[in-house]
A and B are shown apart, each in its own frame.
Chain A
Amino acid sequence: MPNPPPVEPDPITSKSLSGPVLVSSLLLIVSLVWALYDEFYGLRPWKNYQSRFRALYSSYLQKLRGQQAEEEEKIRASEGYKKLEEQWRAAREAIAPRESEIRAEQNLTERQLAVLTDLLPTARGLVTSLIYKLETAEGASAKAKLQREVEEAKKGPFRARVPQKDDTLKDVNFTYDELISEYNRLRERKAALASQISELYARANRVQKQLDEYLSERLAGPRASDVERLQSSAKRFNVEIRQIHVLSTPTFGVPETVLVDRCQSCHIGMDANLVPPTVTLTKAALGVDGSTDAPFTTHPNPDLLKIHDPKRFGCSPCHGGNGRATTSVVKGHGRHKYWLWPLFYRENFDAGCQQCHARDLVLEHAPTLTAGKELFRLRGCMGCHRFQGFDDEDEQLRAVQQEILQQEKIRRENELEIARSNEKGDAAATNEEAQRWYRRAQRLQADNNRIDASLEQLERRSQGLLREWKKIGPNLKEVRLKLRKEWIPVWLENPHTWRPTTKMPRFRLDRDEIEALSAFLWQSGIRERIPQQPRGNPVRGKELFETRGCMGCHAVGETGGTFAANLSRLGEKANYDYIVRWIHNPRERTLPYCPYEKRDLTAEDYRKKGLPFVFGPENSRCPNDGHELQIQQMTVMPNLRLTWEEARDIASYLMTLRQENPDSYPAAPFMNDPKLKERGRFLVRHYGCAGCHEIAGYEEEGRIGTELTNEGSKPIERLDFALLTEKAKRGILPDGSQSPRGKWYDHKGFFENKLGNPATYDQGKVKEPLERLRMPTPNLRPDEIKGLTTMLLGSMDPTIPEQFRYRPSGPQKDIQDGWWIVAKYNCVGCHQLRATEPSVLMTLPRYQDPDWKEQLPPPLVGAGARLNPDWMQQFLENPALSESQLDRNGVRTYLRARMPTFNFSPDEIRKLVRFFQALSSQPLPYVPPKVEPLTERERILARQLFTHPAAPCLKCHMTGEPAHDRTATAPNFLTARERLKPAWTERWLLDPGRIQPGTGMPTGLFRREGDRWIFSGPTPAGFRDYRGDHSDLLVRYMFTFTPEEQRLLLGRMPASPGSGSGEPQGKK
Chain B
Amino acid sequence: MDWHQLWEITSAPDNIPIVAMLFLIPFYVWYGLRQALANDRLLAQLEADPQMAKSHHRKIFPWKEGWEREVHTWPYLMRIELLAAIIVTFILMVWSITLNAPLEEPANPNLTMNPAKAPWYFLGLQEMLVYFDPWIAGVLMPTLIIVGLMAIPYLDANPLGNGYYTFRQRKFAILAFCFGFIVLWVSMIIIGTFIRGPGWMWFWPGQTWDHNRLVFEVNRDLHEVGLFSWIPGIHSVVGKILFGAIVVGAYYAAAGWLIHKLCTATEFNRKIFGRMSLIQYLTLQFFLTTMLALPVKMLARLLFRIKYVWVTPWFNT
Contact = CB atoms under 8 A, between A and B. Distances in A.
B67 A28 contact: no
B210 A10 contact: no
Interface residues of A, number: 35
B28 interface: no
Contacts of B111: 715, 717-718
A21 interface: yes
B64 A8 contact: yes
Contacts of B83: 17, 20-21, 24
Interface string A336-367: 01111000000000000000000000000000
A1060 interface: no
A1067 to B, nearest CB: 62
A730 B93 CA distance: 32
Contact of A4 (B66, B103, B110): B66
A340 B106 contact: yes
Interface in A583-603: none
Nearest to B104: A338
A12 B93 contact: no
A35 B104 contact: no
A7 interface: yes
B86 A28 contact: yes
Interface in A1-56: 3-8, 10-13, 17, 20-21, 24-25, 27-28, 31-32, 34-35, 38, 42
B52 interface: no
A13 B93 CA distance: 32
A723 interface: yes
Interface string B181-224: 00000000000000000000000000010111000000000000
Interface stretch (B74-82, B272-280, B290-298, B307-315): B74-82
Contacts of B68: 10, 13
A210 interface: no
A12 B71 contact: yes
Interface centre among B83, B89, B90, B210 (most CB of A within 10 A): B90
A28 B89 contact: yes
Interface string B50-70: 000000000001001111100
Contacts of A718: 111
Given A6-B66, A11-B61, A717-B111, A24 B86 contact: yes
B233 interface: no
B113 to A, nearest CB: 9
B102 interface: yes
Interface string B98-125: 0000111110101100100000000000
A34 B97 contact: yes
B210 A725 contact: yes
A239 interface: no
Interface residues of B, number: 34
B66 A28 contact: no
A339 B90 CA distance: 32
Interface centre among A3, A717, A718 (most CB of B within 10 A): A717
A31 B92 CA distance: 10
A1005 B2 CA distance: 82
B291 to A, nearest CB: 39
B160 to A, nearest CB: 23
B238 interface: no
B105 to A, nearest CB: 5
A525 B226 CA distance: 63
A711 to B, nearest CB: 15
Contacts of B67: 6, 10, 13
A31 B108 contact: no
B94 A726 contact: no
A722 interface: yes
Interface in A619-659: none
A847 to B, nearest CB: 55
B108 A12 contact: no
Contacts of B90: 24, 27-28, 31
Contacts of A5: 66
A21 B97 contact: no
B25 interface: no
Interface centre among A11, A722, A723, A726 (most CB of B within 10 A): A726
A5 B86 CA distance: 36
A573 to B, nearest CB: 43
A4 B65 CA distance: 9
Contacts of A722: 212
A23 to B, nearest CB: 10
B82 A7 contact: no
B253 to A, nearest CB: 49
B80 to A, nearest CB: 7
B86 to A, nearest CB: 5
Given A31-B94, A38-B97, A715-B111, A24 B87 contact: yes
Given A7-B64, A17-B79, A32 B97 contact: no
Contacts of A723: 212
Contacts of B103: 338
Nearest to B4: A730
A34 B105 CA distance: 29
B93 A35 contact: yes
Given A7-B64, A8-B64, A21 B105 contact: no
Interface centre among B67, B71, B108 (most CB of A within 10 A): B67
Contact of A35 (B76, B97, B114, B210): B97
Given A20-B83, A730-B4, A32 B93 contact: yes
Interface in B10-44: none
A714 to B, nearest CB: 10
Contacts of B82: 21
Contacts of A38: 97
Given A12-B76, A13-B76, A338-B105, A3 B94 contact: no
A3 B66 CA distance: 7
A345 B66 CA distance: 79
A715 B109 CA distance: 12
Given A31-B97, A726-B210, A6 B65 contact: yes
Contacts of A715: 108, 110-111
A28 B82 CA distance: 13
Contacts of B210: 725-726
Contact of A17 (B66, B71, B80, B208): B80
Contacts of A730: 4
Contacts of A17: 79-80, 83
A12 B66 contact: no
Contacts of A3: 65-66
Contact of B93 (A4, A10, A25, A28): A28
Contacts of A35: 93, 96-97
Contact of A725 (B71, B79, B106, B211): B211
A715 to B, nearest CB: 5
Nearest to A340: B105
Contacts of A27: 87, 90
B287 to A, nearest CB: 39
Contacts of B208: 726
A353 to B, nearest CB: 24
A31 B93 contact: yes
Interface string A686-719: 0000000000000000000000000000010110
A331 to B, nearest CB: 10
17 contacts: A8-B64, A10-B61, A10-B68, A11-B61, A12-B71, A13-B68, A25-B86, A31-B94, A35-B93, A38-B97, A42-B97, A340-B105, A715-B110, A715-B111, A717-B114, A718-B111, A722-B212
The 3 closest A-B pairs by CB, nearest first: A6-B66, A31-B93, A24-B86
Interface of A: 3-8, 10-13, 17, 20-21, 24-25, 27-28, 31-32, 34-35, 38, 42, 337-340, 715, 717-718, 722-723, 725-726, 730
Given A13-B76, A337-B105, A717-B114, 19 more contacts: A3-B65, A5-B66, A7-B65, A7-B66, A10-B71, A11-B61, A12-B61, A12-B71, A13-B68, A17-B79, A21-B83, A35-B96, A338-B102, A338-B103, A715-B108, A715-B110, A715-B111, A723-B212, A725-B212
